[in-house]
Amino acid sequence: MADIAAIFGDNLVRMRRGADMSQDELAVRCGIHRTEISQLERGLRIPRLDTFAKICSSLEVEPAELMAGIVWRSARIEYGSFDPGVAQEAQDRSGNE
């Protein structure tokens, strides 16, 4: 399983550098502390939704750009059912007793 914090951090570094911004400048534009930018970039944490929105806006990037490589695959849902073969076996056993 991929570490989504690390993937996000790599994307953030790439987008910030592409915007020719320092961590300090991005932090000021986002209204958050520079250490939070550093922690996000190093994959030590993932952003809250409001922080994510601030980063996207400050970097002038679409959310999908910061989420590149992060994909959720839903679990399969299978509904249960009765197995008539098992029911017949149980009935046969109870009839033989």
Q: What is the residue range of 69's domain?
A: 1-97
Cβ contact 61:26 at 8 Å: no
Question: Are the C-beta atoms of 5 and 44 separated by less than 8 Å?
Answer: yes
- In the chain, the number of structural domains is 1
pLDDT at position 12 is: 98
CATH number at residue 35: 1.10.260.40
The confidence score (pLDDT) of residue 1 equals 46
- What sections of the chain are H helices per DSSP? 4-18, 23-30, 34-41, 49-59, 63-66, 84-95
* Residue whose tokens read 């002038």: 60
Q: What is the pLDDT of residue 72?
A: 85
Per-residue pLDDT of the chain (97 residues; tens, 9 = 90+): 469 999 999 999 999 999 999 999 999 999 999 999 999 999 999 999 999 999 999 999 999 999 999 988 888 888 877 777 655 565 666 665 5
